[in-house]
Homo-oligomer: A and B are copies of this chain.
Amino acid sequence: MDFLNYPQPLADLIAGLSRLPGIGPKTAGRLAFYLLQQPQIAESLADAIQNALTNIRECSVCCNYTDQDPCSICSSDKRDSSLLCIVEQPRDVASLEKTREFKGRYHVLHGVISPLEGIGPEQLTVQQLLKRLDGVQEVIMAMNPTVEGEATAMYLSKILKPMGIKVTRIAHGLPVGGDLEYADEVTIARALEGRRQL
């Protein structure tokens, strides 16, 4: 209704922008006018979207986003192929890589098991995971500590353990710099549960 007075291509652009997460019609309008005022930025953004759609695909091994197949991590011989870290989304790989601590390889599930949303193991990349377990000694479950993340970790662990693979879960507790006063009960309970000897 707000777009009534805009010419159609502009209304379409606002509608397209407001389909992005966290961008409402008002912000979309502001962005659309900005793009029209800055045609070079607009042109390069449209190109970048097309280019990403054309050239980014899922790595056939780890299912992470890549522009070469297999991806740079899967094809690197500096990575420990006996250690596999399973994450929900491609962006989780980037978060883990930023730490520069992990030297193994990754597997991206592209979601978590969520019966409410009709997502079962078949919708995830579990088949690809089962195909690449040769020589893997430890699998780290790095799903988010949500109900669905925990359920997915449990499900995979029940498949992997009988195969003689060590299955671990990333630690949950107080974030570094966090404060007991502001932490929720579940986090504190997890921090107590996971306490270590000094």
Question: Are A16 and B36 also in contact (CB < 8 A) when A10-B52, A67-B8 are?
Answer: no
Residue A196 CB within 8 A of the other chain: no
A46 to B47, CA, bound (A): 7
Produce 1/0 per residue, A118-149, CB < 8 A to B: 00000000000000000000000000000000
Interface residues on A, range: 35 or more
Copies of this chain in the oligomer: 2
Q: Report A36-55 CB contacts with B as 1/0, cut-off 8 Å.
A: 10010111111111111111
One of A86-94, A163-171, A175-183 at the interface: A86-94
Q: Which residues of chain A (38-91) have a CB below 8 Å from chain B?
A: 39, 41-56, 65-68, 71-72, 89-91
Q: Which residues on the B side are within 8 Å of A94 (C-beta)?
A: 2, 5-6, 29
Report which of B5, B15, B44 forms a contact with A48, defined as CB distance below 8 A.
B15
User: Using a CB–CB distance below 8 Å, which chain A residues touch chain B?
Assistant: 2, 4-10, 12-13, 15-17, 19-22, 27, 29-36, 39, 41-56, 65-68, 71-72, 89-91, 93-94, 97-98
